[in-house]
Amino acid sequence: MKIHFRIINPIVRLKDLWYKKKRVIITFGVIAFLVLILPTFITLPASRYGSGADTKPVFGEFLQIDNVNAFVQVLGDKANPAIIFVHGFGGSTFTWRKNLKPLADAGHYIIALDLKGFGLTDKLWDTDYSHTSQAEFLYNIMQKLEVSKATLVGHSMGGSVVLHFASKYPDSIEKIVLVAPAVSENNSFNASFLFDFYFFRQIERQIFTRIFSYTKFEELLKIAYFDVQKLTKADFDGYYLPFEIKNWDLALIGMARDSYLNKINFDLKALDKNILLIWGENDQWIKLREAMELNTRFSKSVFKIIREAGHLPMEEQPEIFNSLLKDFLE
């Protein structure tokens, strides 16, 4: 039996290893280029409007607040008790279209606003989108309109903004109404440093501008409703309008960047205010059991359920919703 020995030339072996390593490096380099660099060269879809003002809203005005062009809708007699409506994520003053006039006719001074980055208000990158900052933004709007005290109505994310406001400016609040509030009491991972990288922002912009199509937005809005037959094309158009304004995607990324700051880190029972919680019985976004648990966290709260309504009870059942507000405010 013969034993054969293979003599490996070390130089050939090293060359072999180098070529394999080179192929791996080139492969990863190409992948990195395609994923990290190429998106920065791809043109983003053009926006229909350059700013909220370009949409030429039929009703409302713009106020200069902290170097931000803020859109507000104001109606009613200023001498009457004030109510300020704060929309949720993806919402705007449009959310309250079925509620503002009936409440004004009932003897209230009504203010609805678009928070920073939302609705027709400016969509900037270099601004703070945390809920504490949004609360300060709301307070400055009150100062601009010379409103010293008001009842605040916050929907979904707007509920969190209202609670931050109540903690920071308790003397400026009369009562609180929370409509399916999205409240976070958990710590979030701080990934804000990632957004300092230009290429990371560009990747996010490429993703967002393709995900949030009109069709996709229709699907999301339908989930928020109990009876989708109530939705009209005008409803879809009204909600989608802010996503046709330049830099909406940058504002959305800014909100993601600052979201780790939105935790409620104060005692809710310490809020010495009368609070009304309103929930749609068929809310698919924030379940009813979460509402019931949250209700136990307040010392002076009333809990109301609106039947045959989803995450937007003020839209699906406006008469019932408006009646609840009127009764609570008497």
Q: pLDDT tens, 203-219?
A: 888 887 888 889 988 99
pLDDT of amino acid 71: 98
Indicate whether 45 belongs to any domain: no
Are 263 and 70 contacting, i.e. CB atoms less than 8 angstroms apart? no
Interatomic CA distance for residues 310 and 290, integer angstroms: 14
Q: Which helix (H) or strand (E) holds 135?
A: helix 131-144
DSSP 176-222: EEEES-----S-----GGGGGSHHHHHHHHHHHHHHS-HHHHHHHHH
Indicate whether 33 belongs to any domain: no
Indicate whether 123 belongs to any domain: yes
Are 145 and 74 contacting, i.e. CB atoms less than 8 angstroms apart? yes
Indicate whether 204 belongs to any domain: yes
Indicate whether 306 belongs to any domain: yes
Average confidence (pLDDT) over 243-270: 93
Interatomic CA distance for residues 39 and 46, integer angstroms: 15
Please give the mean pLDDT across all residues of the chain.
88
Asked if pLDDT for residue 196 goes beyond 80, the answer is no
Interatomic CA distance for residues 48 and 23, integer angstroms: 45
Question: Can you tell me which residue has the tokens 């106020």?
Answer: 63
Question: Can you tell me which residue has the tokens 């310490």?
Answer: 270
pLDDT of amino acid 330: 86
Indicate whether 64 belongs to any domain: yes
Indicate whether 16 belongs to any domain: no
Beta strand residue intervals within 76-184, DSSP E: 82-86, 109-113, 150-155, 173-179
* CATH value at residue 94: 3.40.50.1820
Asked if pLDDT for residue 127 goes beyond 90, the answer is yes
Asked if pLDDT for residue 33 goes beyond 50, the answer is no
Give the pLDDT band (50/70/90) at residue 29. Answer: very low
Q: Per the structure, how many domains does the chain have?
A: 1
pLDDT of amino acid 202: 81
Beta-bridged to residue 280, according to DSSP, are 306
| Candidate from 15-19, 247-251, 289-293 with smallest mean pLDDT | 15-19
pLDDT of amino acid 73: 98
pLDDT of amino acid 316: 98
pLDDT digits (tens, 9 = 90+) for 291-319: 889 999 999 999 999 999 999 999 999 99
Asked if pLDDT for residue 9 goes beyond 70, the answer is no
Indicate whether 46 belongs to any domain: no
User: Can you give the residue range of the structural domain that contains 168?
Assistant: 52-329
Interatomic CA distance for residues 103 and 110, integer angstroms: 7
Residue 9 vs residues 17, 19, 20: alpha-carbon distances, Å: 13, 16, 17
pLDDT of amino acid 8: 53
Asked if pLDDT for residue 10 goes beyond 70, the answer is no
Give the pLDDT band (50/70/90) at residue 197. Answer: confident
Q: Strand pairing of 150-155 and 173-179?
A: parallel
Asked if pLDDT for residue 24 goes beyond 90, the answer is no
Asked if pLDDT for residue 22 goes beyond 90, the answer is no
Give the pLDDT band (50/70/90) at residue 30. Answer: very low
Q: Which residue has the higher pLDDT, 269 or 41?
A: 269
